[in-house]
Amino acid sequence: VILGNEMGADNLKKAKVYGSYTWILTIIVSISVSILIVLLRVPFVRLYNVSDDLMSDIKLCLLVFAIFLPFKAVATVNLVGILRSGGDTLFCLFMDLSGVWLIGVPMAFIGGLYFKLPIYIVYGMVLSAEIYKTVLGYIRYKQGKWLKNLAIELTAK
């Protein structure tokens, strides 16, 4: 909303600064939450009455989630909050669809059904799509193609 307001007011430089702040804040918060997940995963899992095997798998899945959380958070904030605010919706659509159908689903199939890998490894393979979305999203962000005043573009038509 803040980025959209700034772009609508034709303050593109300010919107770019806010976009940078958003990236930095997302990285700091997501790494902090990841650390908390790593530290609290064992006490959290102990709250439930589950078998030792399941407890081990859940702890490993939480560890995998904590590792990929910064990528997932940054990709989500960038695609949903930054790039879409400037109307870069087709790129965001492509990233979401390609992340799921070109990486996530094939990785789940290969890891789970073909190689019969443990759930936490398959989970990590599926979440690897977030690295793809983060890297390509960062490149798109740095290109500045999302910095558009949509209010001017709409009134000009």
Q: What integer pLDDT is reported at residue 19 of this predicted model?
A: 95
Q: What integer pLDDT is reported at residue 89 of this predicted model?
A: 95
79-90 confidence digits (pLDDT tens): 999 999 999 999
- pTM above threshold 0.85: yes
Range of the domain at 90: 2-156
3-36 confidence digits (pLDDT tens): 989 998 999 999 999 999 999 999 999 999 999 9
> Measured between alpha carbons, how far is 1 from 44 in angstroms, rounded to an integer?
35
DSSP per-residue letters across 110-155: IIIIIS---HHHHHHHHHHHHHHHHHHHHHHHHHTTT---HHHHHH
pLDDT surpasses 80 at 152? no
Q: What integer pLDDT is reported at residue 77 of this predicted model?
A: 98
Q: What integer pLDDT is reported at residue 1 of this predicted model?
A: 82
Confidence of residue 153 (pLDDT cuts 50, 70, 90): low
> Measured between alpha carbons, how far is 91 from 137 in angstroms, rounded to an integer?
9
Domain count, the chain: 1
Confidence of residue 150 (pLDDT cuts 50, 70, 90): confident
Structure tokens given for 22: 């958003």
DSSP state at residue 99? I
